[in-house]
């Protein structure tokens, strides 16, 4: 079987050794002669998986004391609503930076529990850049932003400087670069972009947020429910948590976030240099806001489309189509994508 270079935006590439180990655990987990997916989630074998997954998140991201890591269901999309319920406080007002499809969806949910102040937006410009120079209101209960805009290919290069509690959707760049968790009150990320298979969402919750005057929260949406039960209030998505854990082990073994960040920088630099130097291509996002995870670009001459796409196919490059709302191309370069795959793509671009 020839090697496929998988630039898919999500669900995304994971290391081959993770797939292998995961498939073995489906047949015989921990030499129990039972499958991972047929044992009790309360068994000591699975509880150990959940504990290791949670502690690897803490270790790899240097999560300080006073935070709890949860693995829950519902995707980042349910995280939008959970954020709103758990973060709203006395002001009954939140502030959002709208940088794309996912931020737009997040602020729509926030409007269900309070007033939403959209303090900055790049919507008018097709979300091709990160807004700058906005003022953060001091009377909002929290500020929410999307660190990396998976669809448009933009990424915040700095954490917004704010005195109000800060929430980030890090679905598509968590574990790709070092972050200072202490700056955040809540971080969440759907697994299937850079951590594992679809089916679980990681939440990093500052315990202090539970002390605010809280609205009535449906049981399953309340972080307190899940914190009290160590992420095991109800049956967790055992397979997704297990594979995420394997992938985090892989990351740790390969030098952790610091080491992968260097490789991610190299991959992005290689591809963006080609986009900039090759007159047949142009980038979509503003240069200073370009994402290291998802590079969006177009052909300058649409008549080359068929030729380019057949060359991609020939080179076994998968998943390069842009999101249906943007068109063009999107190369997603998550942690498990090797530098070599980016080189193969760049070679095809050069040969066009």
Ligand X SMILES: *Cc1c(COP(=O)(O)O)cnc(C)c1O
Where in the sequence numbering do the catalytic residues fall?
102, 169, 193
Taking only Cα atoms into account, the Rg of the chain, rounded to an integer number of angstroms, comes to 21
Do 296 and 150 contact (CB within 8 A), yes or no?
no
Q: Which stretch binds ligand X (CB under 6 A): 36-44, 50-58, 75-83, 236-244?
A: 75-83
CB of 156 to ligand X, least distance (A): 12
Minimum CB separation of residue 187 from ligand X in Å reads: 12
**95-114: which residues touch ligand X (CB under 6 A)?**
102
Q: Does 193 bind ligand X (CB under 6 A)?
A: yes
- Residue 172 interacts with ligand X (CB under 6 A)? yes
Query: Which residue among 68, 128, 171, 176 contacts ligand X (CB under 6 A)?
Result: 171
294 binds ligand X (CB under 6 A): no
Residue by residue, what is the 3-state secondary structure of the chain? CCCCEECCCCCCCCCHHHHHHHHHHHHCCCCCCCCHHHCCCCCHHHHHHHHHHHHHHHHHCCCCCCEEEEEECCHHHHHHHHHHHHHCCCCCEEEEEECCHHHHHHHHHHCCCCEEEEEEECHHHCCCCCCCCCCCCCCCCCEEEECEECCCCEECCCCCCCCCCEEEECCCCCCCCCCCHHHCCEEEEECCCCCCCCCCEEEEEEHHHHHCCCCCCCHHHCHHHHHHCCCCCCCCCHHHHHHHHHHHHHHHHCCHHHHHHHHHHHHHHHHHHHHHHCCCEEECCCHHHECCCEEEEEECCHHHHHHHHHHHHHCCEECCECCCCCCCEEEECCCCCCHHHHHHHHHHHHHC
Is residue 190 near ligand X by the rule CB under 6 A? yes
Determine, following the binding rule CB under 6 A, whether residue 154 of this chain makes contact with ligand X: no
Q: Dig out the tokens for 58 from the structure.
A: 């803490």
**In the set 86, 98, 146, 231, which binds ligand X (CB under 6 A)?**
146
In the bound complex, what is the minimum distance in angstroms from residue 266's beta carbon to ligand X?
23
Distance CA 97, CA 182 (A): 20
For ligand X, which is the closer residue by CB, 104 or 278? Answer: 104
Identify which range of 165-173, 295-303, 306-314, 318-326 contacts ligand X by CB under 6 A.
Answer: 165-173
* Minimum distance, C-beta of residue 328 to ligand X, in the bound complex (Å): 18
Minimum distance between the CB of residue 223 and ligand X, rounded to whole angstroms? 17
Region from 61-69, 71-79, 84-92, 154-162 binding ligand X, contact rule CB under 6 A: 71-79
Question: Which of these ranges, 25-33, 72-80, 112-120, 262-270, lies near ligand X under the rule CB under 6 A?
Answer: 72-80
> Minimum Å distance from CB 108 to ligand X?
12
Structure tokens at 320: 């390069």
User: Is residue 6 within the footprint of ligand X (CB under 6 A)?
Assistant: no
Site string for ligand X, 215-244 (x = CB under 6 A): ------------------------------
- Please choose, out of 73-81, 229-237, 245-253, 299-307, the segment that lies near ligand X by the rule CB under 6 A: 73-81
Task: Check binding of 86 to ligand X (CB under 6 A).
Answer: no
Where does this chain bind ligand X (CB under 6 A)?
10, 75-77, 102, 146, 150, 169, 171-172, 190, 193
């Amino acid at each position: 079987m020839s090697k496929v270079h998988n630039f898919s935006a999500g669900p995304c590439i994971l290391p081959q050794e993770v797939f292998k180990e995961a498939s073995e655990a489906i047949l015989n987990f921990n030499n129990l002669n039972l499958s991972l997916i047929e044992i009790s989630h309360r068994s000591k074998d699975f509880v150990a998986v959940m504990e290791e997954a949670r502690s690897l998140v803490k270790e790899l991201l240097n999560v300080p004391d006073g935070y709890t890591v949860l693995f829950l269901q519902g995707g980042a999309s349910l995280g939008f609503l959970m954020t709103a319920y758990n973060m709203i406080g006395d002001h009954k007002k939140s502030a959002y930076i709208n940088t794309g499809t996912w931020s737009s969806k997040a602020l729509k949910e926030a409007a269900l529990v309070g007033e939403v102040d959209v303090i900055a937006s790049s919507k008018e410009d097709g979300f091709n850049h990160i807004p700058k120079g906005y003022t953060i209101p001091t009377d909002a209960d929290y500020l929410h932003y999307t660190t990396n805009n998976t669809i448009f290919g933009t990424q915040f290069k700095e954490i917004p400087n704010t005195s109000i509690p800060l929430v980030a959707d890090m679905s598509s760049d968590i574990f790709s670069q070092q972050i200072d968790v202490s700056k955040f009150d809540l971080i969440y990320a759907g697994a299937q972009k850079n951590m594992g298979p679809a089916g679980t969402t990681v939440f990093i919750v500052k315990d202090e947020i539970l002390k605010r005057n809280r609205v009535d929260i449906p049981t399953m949406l309340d972080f307190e429910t899940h914190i009290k039960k160590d992420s095991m209030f109800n049956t967790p998505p055992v397979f997704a948590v297990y594979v995420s854990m394997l992938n985090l082990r892989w990351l740790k073994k390969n030098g952790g976030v610091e080491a992968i960040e260097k490789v991610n920088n190299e991959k992005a630099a290689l591809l963006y240099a080609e986009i900039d130097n090759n007159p047949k291509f142009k980038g979509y996002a503003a240069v200073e806001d370009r994402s290291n995870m998802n590079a969006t670009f177009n052909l300058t001459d649409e008549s080359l489309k068929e030729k380019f796409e057949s060359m991609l196919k020939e080179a076994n490059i998968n998943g390069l189509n842009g999101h249906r709302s943007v068109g063009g191309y999107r190369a997603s370069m998550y942690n498990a994508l090797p530098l070599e795959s980016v080189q193969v793509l760049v070679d095809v671009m050069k040969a066009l």
